[in-house]
Chain A
Amino acid sequence: MGKVVKVSGPLVVATGMSDANMSDVVRVGPERLIGEILTMTGDSASIQVYEETSGLGPGTEVVTTGSPMSVELGPGMIENIYDGIQRPLEEIMKKVHGNNLPRGVEVPPIDPDKLWEFTPVAKAGDKVTGGDVLGTVPETPVVLHKIMVPPNLKGTLKSVIQKGMYNVKTTVAVLVKEDGTEVPLGMSQRWPVRVGRPYKHKYPPTRPLSSGQRIVDTFFPVAKGGTAAIPGPFGSGKTVMQHALAKWSDVDIVVYIGCGERGNEMTDVLREFPELVDPRTGESLMKRTVLIANTSDMPVAAREASIYTGITIAEYFRDMGYDVAVIADSTSRWAEALREMSGRLEEMPGEEGYPAYLSSRLAQFYERAGSVSCLGTDDRTGSLTAVGAVSPPGGDLSEPVSQGTMRIVKVFWALDASLAYRRHFPAINWLTSYSLYLDSLKPWFDENLGKDFLKNREKAMSILQSEASLNEIVQLVGKDSLSPADQLTLETARMVREDFLQQNSFVDVDSFSEYDRQEKLLAIILDYDKLCRDAIEKGAPAAKLFDIPSRERIGRAKSIPADEYAAAYADISASMEQEIAAAVQKAGEEL
C-alpha cells in the first residue's frame, strides 16, 4: 500500500508502490477514486486519476488492484450509456439520486442481477479454443449475443449449463485446461482496454458501408473495416454527420463515443435513437447502439480512456462475427486530454505542446479497425469500421491531430465552413475529400450496382471539377459569354450539388437514401446532361432546355417516399426525354 506525496490536478504521485505493476489500476483515498499508473521510478508511481482530485493531499492511501485498466464484456451493454471508464450513467443517477456526477461512485458496468435467456451451443466434451461460442443470449431483438470462450483459453468443456434464465455471473460452462486446471466460465469476461483483442487474420476490406448519405456512399465510400476521418471547423456539421452515420450505417452494432463534447449532444442521441426505426430491421436504432459519454465537463483523464473503452467493446462484438462501427466525436478532445496529462508529467513537448507520441497513439487507435476472420473454429468474419471526427483549431488542417489522422485514415470527408454558411448540407467539400477504397470496392459495385455506377460517379466528379474552373471564368467575364455547352456544364453541376449531394438529415424521407436509389437519381441527372448536350448540338436554345418542367421534378425527386421512387424516377426520365425532344423539334421548326 502506498501513500500520496504530491497532487497536481489529475496527476498524483505516490510512494511505497513497489508491488504495483506499470499501468495498473489503483484506488486512491477513502473515496476509492480510480486511477491508472503512468510512470514508475523506484517505488514511486505517477498516477492519472479519472476523477476530480480536490481534497486529496499527502498521506492519502493508494492501493493497487494489480490489473490494468479493463472493461467488462457481456450481455447488457447494448442500449446502455457509459462514462469513459465504463460506469453506467443511468445507474449512477439512480444510485446518487441526483442529476450531477459526484466522485467515488461504484456501480458494476453490467447489471449482475438481470437474467438472460442462455441457449447452449457447445456441449460437454467439446474441445474448444478462445473465441468458440458456448451459447447465445438474445440481448435485444436484433442482437444475438454470443457467449464466447475468452481469447487466451483452450481446453475441453467439462460441463455446459442447460437452457435457461441466468445472470451474467452464473457459471455457464466449466473448461478443463490441458494441464488439468478447471476454469469456470461466466457470461461476461474482462479485457484490458489498451490491448487490441486478438483475431486470426486481417483482410483488406471489400464491402462498402452503406450509410444512406449520398455524398458518402456514391462519392467517397468507406469500406466495412475501413477508417475515415471527418475534420471540420465548428458549425460545419460534424456532429450531424456523425449522428447520421450512427443512425443509418448498415452495420450490426454501433458504438458511439462522445469524447469531450457537448452534454446535450449525448442527450440528443439518448432521446432520439430509441424513437428512430432502423430501415433494415424495423426495430429501434437504440437496440444496436452502445453509448460512451465523457462530456467536456467530466474529468479530463477519463476522456483519454473513453476512446479505448469504446473500441474494446466494439472489438468484442466484432469477435462475435458482426459488422461494427465505432464513431468517435471528437479525437481532438482525446488528444487534448493526452496533452494535458503529458504536460503535468513534465514530458518534453512535441508540436503545439502535444506529446511526441501523439501520432503513434492515433495510429494505434485506427489500426484496431479492420475486416477480420475471428478467433474460434467456425470461421466467422467480422469487421470494425472506425470513424473519427477531428476538430482542428480555427479549421486549420496543418495542426498535429489533423495531420496525424490524415496519414492513417483512408477516407477523408473534409467539411467546409463556406458550404455550411450556404446551408449546403452535408457540408462535405467534393473537391478536397477523398476515398482510397474505390479500387478495392470496385468488384462489389460492379456486381451489385452495375458497371455504370462507378462510371457515373467519375463523370459527375469531372462535371463538378469543370464547374470549379468555369466559375473562375464566370467571375471574370460573366455567365453569358460562356458557350451553351459550358453553360450546360454549370447547370448540371448545380443539379448534382443541389438535387443529389444536398441531403437534409431533418427530413424523414431524405435522411436516408439506399444505394439503388442513389444510383438511379444520379443516372437521371447525367441523362439530362447527355440529352441536353445532344439537343444543344442540334440547335436547341440552352435557356429553353434549362426551363423544361421535368427540371423542377428532378429537384423534388429526393422527397419522393421510399416505396414510390422507382416508378416516379422512371416517369421523370420518360417525360424529360419527351420534353427535350420537343425542344429540339421546336428549334428545328423555327429555323
Chain B
Amino acid sequence: MIKEYRTIQEIVSPLMMVKMVENVTYDELVEVELPDGGIRRGKVLEVNGDTAVVQLFESAAGINLAQSKVRFLGHPLQLGVSGDMLGRVFNGMGVPIDGGPAILAEEYRDINGLPMNPAARDYPNEFIQTGVSTIDGLNTLVRGQKLPIFSGSGLPHANLAAQIARQARVLGDDAGNFAVVFAAIGITFEESEFFVQEFRRTGAIDRTVLFTNLANDPAVERISTPRMALTAAEYLAFEKDMHVLVILTDITNYAEALREVSAAKKEVPGRRGFPGYLYTDLATMYERAGRQLGKPGSITMIPILTMPEDDKTHPIPDLTGYITEGQIILSRALYRQGINPPVDVLPSLSRLKDKGIGAGKTREDHANTMNQLFAAYSTGKDNKELMSILGEAALTPTDLLYAKFADEFEKRYVNQGYEENRSIEETLNLGWELLSILPTSELKRIKQEYIDKYLPKKEG
C-alpha cells in the first residue's frame, strides 16, 4: 500500500520538504499530485528522521502546500525500455511526444545505471571511419570511445556532429546494427530541429531515439535527460547488440542545471559556483560509454559542449577533458578564415587512437605520418608567427617550406566541408602529398621504408 501524504512543509524550487513521513528511503521516486490532477515527479535527496527532502525533476509551479498529495513509490526513477524506441521522440523525462502510442516496456531500468566493472570492459580498438580527415587521420575515433566536441557559441559544432553521425562506419562491417541516441539538453528548438531534419534527410531517423529537453523546458529536467538517453543506449547496445552512437548536446546546459540545484541545496560551491562533485557527476554519465566483454554491442559517445568565452580551463570543459578520452576542439580563428570544419588540430586529441590504427586497422604508415603531420604543422605555425613579426627574410628556406606546409595543410586537409566523405586511404595519401612539400631529411618521425613506399615521387 502506498501512502499519500499532505504534509508538504516548504517548497523552494526545485526542493520540497515533506514532514511526518514513514518508511521513506534515499533516492526513491516521488510523485506529487496537484489539486487539478496533474502529476509532478521528484526524488528523495535526504531523509532525516520523519522529514524527507525531495528534489523535483519538473517545475514546482502549481503545487499547493495544503492540498497536493505526495506519494513515495519505493523505487528510483526508471525508464521503460524496448526495441520499439527506435524512431521515436521523447521529452526530457522519457514520455513520448511524437503523437505515437506509449512504449510497451520490455524492462524498467534505473536511469542512474550501475557502474561498469572495470574488469569486464573490453578495450575499444576498432577504428571508426568518420570521413573527416582531421578526425580519422589525426584524432582517430574508435568504437566505445567518448570523444567530446569542445565548441564555442556560434561555432558549427552541430554540422560536425551531424556529419560524423551520417558518415561514421566501421570498415568491413555491416551498417545494419547501428543506432543513434540523441539527447537535446536545453538547446533551442532550431538546433534540435536541425538534427531531426538531418536524420530525416539521410534516412537515419528510423534508427534514432530522440530525447528532447528544449531551452524553454524546466531546467531541473535536464539532469535526467542525458541519463534517460544513456539508459536507452545501454539497453540497445548490451541487450539488443547494437552499435550505438550517443550525441549529448549541450553539456554546458546540463552543468548549469546541476549548479542551480546545488545552489538551492545550499551546498558549498566549488569553482565558478559549480558543485564540488561536478567531476563525479559528469563521470557517472560519460563512463557509461564503452564495450563489454562477451557483448557484441558498443556505446560510442560524442558529448558537445560550448566553452563559456572559449575558455578551455572553465570547469565544464576542464572536468570533461579529464574524464573523456580526448577532445575535438573547434577554433574560432579557423572558422573566421572560412575553414570548415574548423577543427583546431594541435590541442585536439584522441587518447585511444594508438590502439585503433596501424596495419590491419588503417594502414601501417598511419602512426608515423600522424606524428609527422602534427610536428610539421606545429613548426609551420610557429614559423608563420615569426614571419609576421620579422618578415619573410628572417626565415631560412626550410622554415619557409614549413610555413607553406601549414597553409596548405589548413586549406586542403582541414578544410574539407561538411559534405565530403573521405576514405582513410584518401586521408593518408593527402597527408603524404602535403608532407612532400618538405625536404625528405625533415621527415624524421617516419620510418625510411614508409618514405620509400608512400612518398609521392617529385617530378623531374
* Chain A residues at the B interface, C-beta cutoff of 8 Å: 5-9, 13, 53-59, 81, 89-90, 92-93, 98-102, 233-235, 239, 258, 260, 262-264, 266-268, 270-271, 293, 295-300, 333, 336, 339-340, 343, 349, 352-353, 391, 393-396, 417, 420-423, 474-475, 477-480, 498, 506, 552, 555-556
Contacts and interface: CB of A to CB of B under 8 A. Distances in A.
Contacts of B24: 57-58
A340 B322 CA distance: 18
Contacts of B45: 8
Interface in B244-279: 267-271, 276-277, 279
7 contacts: A6-B48, A55-B26, A89-B117, A100-B116, A263-B118, A340-B276, A353-B268
Contact of B352 (A58, A102, A264, A420): A264
B444 A498 contact: yes
B114 A100 contact: yes
Interface string B318-345: 1101110111000000000000000000
Given A59-B23, A353-B276, 11 more contacts: A56-B26, A58-B49, A264-B121, A266-B118, A266-B121, A267-B123, A297-B287, A300-B277, A300-B280, A395-B313, A478-B386
Contacts of B386: 474-475, 478
Nearest to B367: A506
Nearest to A547: B441
Contacts of A102: 114
Contacts of B396: 479-480
B423 interface: no
B375 A336 contact: no
Contacts of A417: 347
B374 interface: yes
Contacts of A297: 115-116, 283-284, 287-288
B12 interface: no
Given A100-B116, A393-B318, A6 B280 contact: no
B49 A267 contact: no
A393 B27 contact: no
A486 to B, nearest CB: 15
Nearest to A55: B25
A343 B276 contact: yes
A264 B322 CA distance: 13
A266 B123 CA distance: 9
Which of A293, A340, A396, A417 counts the most chain B CB atoms within 10 A?
A340
B325 A264 contact: yes
Contacts of B394: 477-480
Contacts of A298: 115
Contacts of A420: 349
Given A89-B117, A270-B118, A478-B390, A262 B315 contact: no
A13 B51 CA distance: 14
Contacts of B346: 421-422
A422 B378 contact: yes
B120 interface: yes
B326 A235 contact: yes
A295 B276 contact: no
A264 B123 contact: yes
Given A54-B26, A393-B313, A271 B323 contact: no
A504 to B, nearest CB: 8
> Which 9 residue pairs are nearest across A and B when measured between Cβ atoms?
A394-B313, A296-B283, A478-B394, A54-B27, A57-B25, A99-B120, A297-B287, A234-B321, A100-B114
A9 B155 CA distance: 38
B359 interface: no
Interface in B96-141: 110, 112-124
B293 interface: yes
Which of B283, B313, B374 counts the most chain A CB atoms within 10 A?
B283
Contacts of A58: 24, 47-50
Nearest to B53: A8
A396 B313 contact: yes
B3 interface: no
A55 B28 contact: yes
B114 A336 contact: no
Contact of A556 (B121, B322, B444): B444
B76 interface: yes
Contacts of B355: 268
B46 interface: yes
Contacts of B46: 6-9
Interface string B271-314: 10000110110011001101011110000000000000000111
B352 A353 contact: no
A420 B349 CA distance: 10
Nearest to B278: A336
A92 B117 contact: yes
B120 A295 contact: no
Contact of A100 (B117, B322, B395): B117
B13 interface: no
A234 B267 contact: no
B389 interface: yes
B354 interface: yes
Contacts of B167: none
A343 B115 contact: no
Given A90-B119, A295-B115, A478-B390, A263 B276 contact: no
A57 B51 CA distance: 11
A441 B314 CA distance: 41
A478 B295 CA distance: 59
A270 B114 contact: no
Nearest to A82: B119
Contacts of B50: 58
Nearest to A352: B270
Contacts of A54: 25-28, 76, 110, 112
Given A263-B116, A393-B315, A99 B47 contact: no
A17 to B, nearest CB: 16
A324 to B, nearest CB: 22
